[in-house]
């Protein structure tokens, strides 16, 4: 596992994210459990350790680069196997994290891995966002699951005043934004370590209602 741990730590360094030995160990445990469960539950199309580290772990940690420093709570909408919510929680443990995932098998895995990693302040919600009442967070985040416009509509009523939405988008973002008249949108173009890939992190501010 040394080579795997070294890749992970080098990724943290390239993203300029401080890390502890314990945090590295948590990611390695996450990796082992994800690979084990993936055989039966088909949680992810990525199979190799290198792919998982780069395209799941480090990709999720790009959200930290745009996460508001004062955020106390966040919801990962369509969390799947825990991305980006669990990597963000590992590196920012003070944030209260809600993992919203309606698919039963994935929600079972989320409960298992959060217990296995002993992550405090995490709640798994196995419902569709439209079925949830009373969820109020400072940040709602998602990885390429919704268009910007759809995400704004779906999270309406779930964001605290002064809160933000964060979406990770691909190369078609500019075309997607053309039809929007929403103000307070900022796009940060961030390179994914060890990959010839740029992620567009979209932050939409002042969306509470």
Identify the CATH homologous superfamily for domain 2-205.
Vaccinia Virus protein VP39 (3.40.50.150)
Cross-strand pairs, 191: 198
Distances in whole angstroms, Cα of residue 128 to Cα of each of 21, 26, 32, 64, 83: 36, 28, 28, 25, 16
* Residues in binding site: 78, 83, 129-130, 143
User: What is residue 180's predicted lDDT score, i.e. its pLDDT?
Assistant: 80
User: What is residue 28's predicted lDDT score, i.e. its pLDDT?
Assistant: 98
* Residues in binding site for S-adenosyl-L-methionine: 78, 83, 129-130, 143
Would you give per-residue pLDDT tens digits along the chain (209 residues)?
Answer: 899 999 999 999 999 999 999 999 999 999 999 999 998 888 888 889 999 999 999 999 999 999 999 999 999 999 999 999 999 999 999 999 999 999 999 999 999 999 999 999 999 999 999 999 889 999 999 997 899 999 999 998 999 999 999 999 988 888 888 878 777 899 999 999 999 999 999 999 977 55
With a threshold of 0.75, does the pTM exceed it? yes
User: What is residue 209's predicted lDDT score, i.e. its pLDDT?
Assistant: 52
């Amino acid at each position: 596992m040394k080579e795997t741990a070294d890749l992970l730590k080098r990724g943290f360094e390239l993203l300029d994210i401080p890390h502890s030995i314990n945090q590295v160990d948590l990611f390695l445990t996450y990796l082992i459990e994800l690979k084990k469960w993936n055989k039966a539950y088909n949680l992810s199309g990525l199979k190799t350790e290198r792919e998982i580290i780069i395209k799941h772990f480090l990709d999720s940690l790009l959200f930290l680069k745009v996460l508001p420093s004062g955020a106390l709570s966040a919801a990962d909408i369509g969390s799947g196997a825990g991305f980006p919510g669990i990597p963000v929680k590992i590196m920012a443990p003070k944030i209260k994290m809600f993992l919203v995932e309606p698919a039963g098998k994935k929600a079972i895995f989320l409960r298992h891995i959060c217990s296995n990693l002993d992550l405090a302040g995490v709640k798994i919600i196995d419902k569709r966002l439209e079925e949830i009442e009373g969820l109020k967070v400072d940040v709602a985040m998602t990885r390429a699951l919704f268009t910007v416009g759809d995400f704004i509509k779906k999270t309406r009523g779930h964001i605290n005043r002064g809160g933000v939405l964060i979406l990770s988008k691909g190369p078609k973002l500019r075309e997607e934004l053309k039809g929007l008249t929403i103000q307070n949108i900022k796009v940060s173009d961030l390179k994914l370590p060890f990959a010839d890939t740029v992620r567009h992190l979209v932050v939409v501010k002042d969306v509470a209602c």
